[in-house]
Structure formats: C-alpha cells, structure tokens
Amino acid sequence: MNQLIAKSEIADIIEKVEAGERLSFDDGVRLFKSNDITTIGWAANLVRWRKNGNRTYYIVNRHINHTDICKNRCKFCAFSRSEGEEGAYTMSIEEIVARAEEYYADLKYTELHLVGGLHPAMPFDYYTGMLSALKERFPDVHLQAFTAVEIKHIAEIGGYSVEECLRRLKDAGLGSIPGGGAEIFAPEVRNQVCPEKMTGDEWLSVTRTAHKLGIKSNATMLYGHVERPEDRVDHMLKLRELQDETGGFMSFIPLRFHPINTDLANLARPRSGIDDLKAVAVGRLMLDNFPHVKAFWIMFGLKLAQVALSFGADDFDGTVVEEKITHRAGAETPEALTVTDIRRMIEETGTVPVERDTVYREVVR
C-alpha cells in the first residue's frame, strides 16, 4: 500500500480489498461518502485487473425500442408515452425486422437489444412473434430482450406464470435479458420515482426465475435522483446476494439519471463526474461476484466512459446504432459509434479492446 493510500480515511477498506475480503454495508456507505476518489479508483482498478486483466470488452450490437407506449409512466422516464399521445409508436413485427435489417450487412452485429414500454394491449404473440421472426431472419444474432419489468407484464398479458412465460420466450428465441427496471430497490425511493413499477423484490424474483432457467441477465442501478448512499449500497447488496445464489448475472451497469423532459426535472443539478466514477468504482468493489462492470458510454458520455475504464469498468458496451431512452431525456452523446472509434477510445486508456458476444465469449472476425 503506498503512503497516500495508507493515510486515507478509507485505508482499512482498501486493505480488505487487497486481501480479497468481502466489503460490508458500512464499507459501501463510507466509500460513497468519501471524496478520496483516486484511492477508491485505485482499489476498483485493482479488482478490475484481477478479474479482467487489461481487456476492455465491447460488442457490435443494435438497440431497437419496439414501442414507447407504457402504462407505468415512471417519473424519471422521458421515453414513455400514453396511447394517442404525440410521439407514441408501436412497431409491427415487420417493421422490427426491417429495422434490424438496416446496418446488418455493414455491421454484422452479434446482438439485438430489444427494450420497450409496457403496452397495455399488445398480445402475448406479439412478443414471441417478434423473437421468432428475428431469429428466423438472423439465426446467429443473440436476442437480448425485455427487462424483468417487461417479462412480468408479458406474463400477465398471456395469462402465464413468469416461469412459463420465460420458457415460451426462450423457445421463441430469447437469449438473455437486459438489466433495466432495477432502478433502486428501496421501496421509499421506488414509491417516489416509479410508483407504478413492480417492486424491487418482484424484479429480483423474475430475475431469479430467469437465472434458474439458464437465462443470463444484467443488472442496472439508476442513480442521481432522490436516492441516498445507503439506498445504493442496499441495492448492490441485494444484487450480490442473488448472484451468490444463482450466478446468472453477467454485468453491473450504473445508469446516471438524465432529468430533461421528465417529471423529476426539478432535481436537475450539475452533473457530477465524481459521482459517476463512484457509482462505477463502488459497484466494482461491492459486487465481488459480478464478472463485469459496464460503462454504458451513451449515459456516461464518451469522455467519462473512457476514464471509468480505470475506475473498475471493463466493458464499454457497443455500437448501439439507435437509442431513445436516454436521448429523449437530454443525452448529448451520439446514438451510434463505429467499431473503429470504439477500439480507438479503448486503446487510449491503455487497455486492449476485445470484441465479445452477449455472454462474453471473444468474437473473432
């Protein structure tokens, strides 16, 4: 341990990290409350190196948001619309396949990322139909689709249990599920920012069921609104506990709240790069059983996503192509990056870009 770290107010926590010991709730809260950002980053980078060496993963993918109509209308969401409202849309299955076709010849992407609102009327067959049509046209493309929140909704629409719904979606081509909808699990926070959304326990339960069926997933944390450091750490510990049980999580993805055009716009305060780096680094330190931490450049911004790669993150996400959720909430990042740009941005951080597929196998082209 160098002298500066030895003198730090969090030196005892760093010692635990060096020894490979699991951090406690209090450790996590102290890390968030400490402004010794270089020490926090040093420790997170150590864990990143132990787990992933100097590799930084990226994926050639394409996002499609099939509908923005959503019955939940979470207060932090600028993407969703009610039926009939200006901007409301629902793509037909043909349109989804046509969208997926765009750029496929050029990019040969390996993943389609499908996330949408909770449409009150679209039938169960819409979801299985979209997966099977995509799988038929793009048999080699992994379909990462429907957050745990959508899965529960789709199950209700079909009149199935979550388990039966997941089995049917898997049969239709579902490969894995994205990490959205987790937000912050603490009920006091959820009641303020997304009162209509499933509870944190329900999110964990759907995810547990998916993992038990062999469907892997990611986990997000939406931060930078009304939550306290204690709520962030509680969120992380619930994820860590489920991961101990199932081992089904691939990556942790902190998502910075973007306030523009949302009902929580009054919470807007200057964006803190330090807070963004803490979310990544403390996530890396608390989630000792998660293989990967993702700096989703769309939300982080390109420059800070690069820095995050030295603060615990080992994944830059991907080409994305089209993104509405963050851009309707004021994101200033581009919607797409080329592979050349991604590799260059990663190389500049002194790490080695590695193309991965959805489940982190190396892709050799």
Q: Does 80 bind ligand SF4 (CB under 6 A)?
A: yes
By CB under 6 A, the count of residues binding ligand V47 is 24
Q: Give the one residue of 181, 248, 283, 301 binding ligand V47; rule: CB under 6 A.
A: 181
Q: Give the one residue of 64, 70, 169, 193 binding ligand SF4; rule: CB under 6 A.
A: 70
For residue 214, the minimal CB distance to ligand SF4 (Å) is 25
Which residues, 107 to 166, sit near ligand SF4 by CB under 6 A?
117-118, 149
For residue 65, the minimal CB distance to ligand SF4 (Å) is 9
Q: Does 255 bind ligand V47 (CB under 6 A)?
A: yes
Helix axes 273-286, 25-33, angle to 10 degrees: 160
For the chain, the first-to-last Cα distance in angstroms comes to: 42
Return the one option of ligand V47, ligand SF4, none that residue 78 interacts with (CB less than 5 to 8 A, by type).
ligand V47
Exposure b/e, 303-325, CB count within 10 A at least 16 = b: ebbbbbbbbbbbbbbbbbbebbb
Cα 219 from Cα 325, distance rounded (Å) = 17
Q: Does 220 bind ligand V47 (CB under 6 A)?
A: yes
Question: Of the ranges 38-46, 71-79, 164-172, 344-352, which one interacts with ligand V47 (CB under 6 A)?
Answer: 71-79
Q: Give the one residue of 43, 77, 313, 354 binding ligand SF4; rule: CB under 6 A.
A: 77
Q: Are 16 and 23 in contact (CB under 8 A)?
A: yes
Interaction mask 92-111, ligand V47, x per CB under 6 A:
--------------------
**Which CB, 41 or 178, lies closer to ligand V47?**
178
Report how far apart, in Å, the C-alpha atoms of 29 and of each of 23, 85, 185 are.
Answer: 10, 42, 16
Q: Give the one residue of 73, 170, 208, 228 binding ligand SF4; rule: CB under 6 A.
A: 73
**Which CB, 28 or 178, lies closer to ligand V47?**
178
Entry field: residues in the chain: 365
For residue 7, the minimal CB distance to ligand V47 (Å) is 37
- Listed residue (272, 270, 342, 331) closest to 309, CA to CA: 342
Cα 307 from Cα 303, distance rounded (Å) = 7
Q: Report phi then psi at 222, rounded to 5.
A: -90, 115
Q: Are 211 and 247 in contact (CB under 8 A)?
A: yes
Residues contributing to the site for ligand SF4 (CB under 6 A):
70, 72-74, 77, 79-80, 117-118, 149, 194, 197
